[in-house]
Structure 1
Amino acid sequence: MTLRARLQRAPLLGFFALTFAWSWACWALSPAIRPQLPWLATLLMFAGSFGPSLAAIVVVASTRPNGGLRAWLSRCLEWRIGWGWWTFAVLVPLAVMLLAAGLHIALGGTIGTSPASGHLLMTVVNLPLVLLLGGPMGEEFGWRGFALPVLQDRLGWRAASLVLGPVWGVWHLPLFFIDGTAQAHIPLALFMLSVVAMSVVFTWLVNHTAGSVVAALLLHTAINFWPSVVPVLPTEGSYRAYAFVVSILVLLALLALGLTNERSLYRRPARAKNGNGGS
């Protein structure tokens, strides 16, 4: 059976398989070649982060003929979501981190000074780098652009979020064993809890913006960027500020799960005329 036939039979399973195979292969090879080829090792780390989006493109191109890929990309790139949602996506993560930092300081803790916090130019330059290389572009077309609509079509938005969250978290697992990654100093349990909570918040936002992946890109970029201004990620032996971040994210997720009316949400159907069913 050809790859196209396998993907047409089980597109969601195929997406997950391609995502993990590509990313984990890149991340496994990178540390092994770093002593001899550091530039290639760095390139492989970035390439691995694009696994979800690349896998989604392959699956959509294989399962939706006659312009299906173009139509899918057009829906994903819908940017007219309203200034309120742009503001929400960019500033809510900052508010979460400021609140967490404030609680940490109120209990006698300290946070370091970020290199970007005092340099406006560095802060501005960091934004496109985070968007292009820090995860959002490489991930969101896959997680929220492809997998989420398929899961929601079967399970509803709450269950889909709670299924996709752990998968999203486990995908990061090799990064915990690679020096220099953001995950290297983060306790796995806290990270997994944060990702499941964020999955709910991401779904809530995407469903309130007509299925726009741009909204997810903005939120993901903000989550990755603001710690360069408000340093709340763990350093060796200091987890309290990050634990506050996770706690606030869990609270936001619980509010979204408990207070959102299913009928008030837009839910982009996974199945279009050119097809996207299967496992």
Structure 2
Amino acid sequence: MVRQGTSGVGLFLLLTFALSSVFYALIIATGHLGGAKGMYVTGLMWCPGVAALLTCRLRGEGPARLGWRWGEWRWPWLAYVVPLGYAAVAYVIIWSTGLGGFGNTEFVSSMGKALGWASVPVWLNTVGYFVLLGTAGMVRSMSTALGEEIGWRGFLAPALVARLGFTGGALATGAIWGVWHLPILLFADYNAGTPWWFAMSCFMVLVLSSSMMMTWLRLRSGSLWPAVVMHASHNLFIQSFFTPITESRGAITPYAIDEFGFVVPLAMAVVAVMFWLKRDAADKDGAMVLG
């Protein structure tokens, strides 16, 4: 059992935003997330994790409070399939209503070239890419998600839940997490092409919903790893498959797709409510984690 006190939150946030400011500046200077071949974003995503480790070190605490143990396998598996499920539902709605189309020809062609399977049927390219993405791609995605989750769900969420309760702690963590993204949303190209106020509104619904789910998983499992898996699965399937394979159907499409359109956040909000309705189980298990 690890006692998670609420102290150290201020220091953690100070270190997180101080470290992040370096990468904010570098990303904004280039104007896009691909700056330095994506290494600026990788650095930014590791700032919360480094800040959490430094906070523990400066306070004389061991890293055990961050939830390093793997725990039961059912929780990482649940964390893997939940984003795939809500993303699939959201994009089926988008494709079936004409808000976007399935089968972006440019993306499908690029998949074939990347795989070296340009002469095989399109469906085989798509299936092959999807399988590789969901297996080998998860390793790479988890390597960056881990940096954030050591901080957000390893350190911050349990500390805020201890003070505010499950609902308040999950929402407060999500709000801070969302604010942390704002500099690159407002001043770089972390957007799907909609006005900043629309993108920001949709994104905040998304991160609050995601925080509710990942905080629940963190407390139920006693481990940060389900949150890492869920974060990686979300980024991977939405950013690398569902959004790029969706073809534009006019000016409405950017308002519907990705993390900055309205469909995915609404689908996530529904799932988050389902997790919230089972909050008593998280509170019970979380009491053991929080000491």
- Cα shift at 1:108: 2.1
State how many pairs are aligned.
253
- Cα shift at 1:218: 0.6
Q: Is 1:257–2:273 an aligned residue pair?
A: no
Find the aligned partners of 1:196 and 1:33 in 2 and give their Cα distance. Answer: 29
2:23 corresponds, among 26, 47, 56, to 26
- Cα shift at 1:149: 1.4
- Cα shift at 1:103: 1.1
Find the aligned partners of 1:81 and 1:30 in 2 and give their Cα distance. Answer: 38
- 1:55 aligned residue: 51
User: Residue deviations 1:75-129, cap 9 Å, x none?
Assistant: x2211323x3222111111111111111112212314445554434752442222
Q: Is 1:217–2:228 an aligned residue pair?
A: yes
Q: Flag the 1:179–1:264 CA change in 2: closer, same or farther, 3 A.
A: closer
- 2:175 aligned residue: 166
Q: Is 1:245–2:256 an aligned residue pair?
A: no
Find the aligned partners of 2:264 and 2:245 in 1 and give their Cα distance. Answer: 9
Find the aligned partners of 2:282 and 2:233 in 1 and give their Cα distance. Answer: 28
Indicate if the aligned counterparts of 2:20 and 2:47 stay in contact, CA closer than 8 A.
yes
- Cα shift at 1:48: 1.6
- 2:140 aligned residue: 129
TM-score normalized with structure 2 length:
0.75
Partner of 2:77, secondary structure, is helix
Partner of 1:149, secondary structure, is helix
Q: Flag the 1:253–1:42 CA change in 2: closer, same or farther, 3 A.
A: closer
User: Residue deviations 1:232-259, cap 9 Å, x none?
Assistant: 7997752224422111111122222234
Q: Is 1:78–2:69 an aligned residue pair?
A: yes
Find the aligned partners of 1:144 and 1:126 in 2 and give their Cα distance. Answer: 22
Indicate if the aligned counterparts of 2:12 and 2:52 stay in contact, CA closer than 8 A.
yes
Find the aligned partners of 1:80 and 1:20 in 2 and give their Cα distance. Answer: 30
Indicate if the aligned counterparts of 2:7 and 2:159 stay in contact, CA closer than 8 A.
no
Indicate if the aligned counterparts of 1:161 and 1:203 stay in contact, CA closer than 8 A.
yes
- Cα shift at 1:64: 2.6
- Cα shift at 1:183: 6.6
Runs of 5+ consecutive residues of structure 2 not aligned to the other structure: 112-125
Find the aligned partners of 1:33 and 1:199 in 2 and give their Cα distance. Answer: 29
- Cα shift at 1:139: 0.4
TM-score normalized with structure 1 length:
0.78
- 1:96 aligned residue: 86
Q: Is 1:230–2:220 an aligned residue pair?
A: no
- 2:147 aligned residue: 138
- Cα shift at 1:176: 1.2
Q: Flag the 1:149–1:233 CA change in 2: closer, same or farther, 3 A.
A: farther
- 1:199 aligned residue: 211
Work out the percentage of aligned pairs sharing the same amino acid: 25
- 1:276 aligned residue: none
Indicate if the aligned counterparts of 1:81 and 1:215 stay in contact, CA closer than 8 A.
no
- Cα shift at 1:17: 1.1
2:24 partner amino acid:
W
Q: Flag the 1:145–1:201 CA change in 2: closer, same or farther, 3 A.
A: same
1:187 corresponds, among 191, 199, 203, to 199
2:9 corresponds, among 4, 12, 15, to 12
Indicate if the aligned counterparts of 1:162 and 1:199 stay in contact, CA closer than 8 A.
yes
Tell me the C-alpha RMSD between the 2 structures: 3.1
